[in-house]
């Protein structure tokens, strides 16, 4: 199991979360902190089954649907305050960072931070 986890917080509350773990990967909406892991868990769409596809899909969701997802999670004011240009720039930067750093799991195992 590998791949990053990232999400969208509102005032310190995790609302949306993407767990791009390859097999077993999934995401959470409508308020991860509010509903808990089981109440907000959604499997990735069929065919979105490896880390790379899950990252692409997740970053596209952030770019294209953050406003809708925040509204559905009952954060209408925050949804209306989304700056699309800033959001797009941030997702491009996240994508570039992940491509530059690559898979850090082997390094974490070698350093003893994770067990294989």
Domain boundaries, the chain: 5-110
Q: What is the DSSP string of 17-52?
A: EEE--STT-EEE-S-HHHHHHHHHEEEPPTT--SHH
What predicted TM-score, i.e. pTM, was given to this entire model?
0.85
What was the pLDDT predicted at 19?
A: 93
Residue 106 in this model has a pLDDT that exceeds 90: no
The structure tokens listed for 103 are 């898979």
pLDDT of residue 1: 59
Percent of the chain with pLDDT over 70: 98
Q: What percent of the chain has pLDDT over 90?
A: 61
């Amino acid at each position: 199991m590998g791949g990053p986890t990232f999400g969208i917080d509102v005032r310190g509350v995790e609302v949306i979360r993407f767990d791009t773990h390859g097999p077993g990967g999934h995401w959470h909406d409508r308020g991860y902190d509010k509903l808990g892991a089981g109440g907000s868990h959604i499997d990735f769409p069929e065919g979105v089954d490896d880390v790379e596809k899950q990252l692409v899909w997740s970053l596209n969701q952030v770019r294209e649907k953050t406003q809708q997802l925040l509204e559905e999670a009952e954060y209408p004011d925050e949804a209306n305050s989304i700056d699309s240009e800033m959001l797009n720039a941030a997702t491009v930067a996240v994508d570039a960072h992940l491509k530059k750093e690559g898979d850090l799991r082997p390094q974490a195992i070698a350093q003893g931070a994770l067990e294989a």
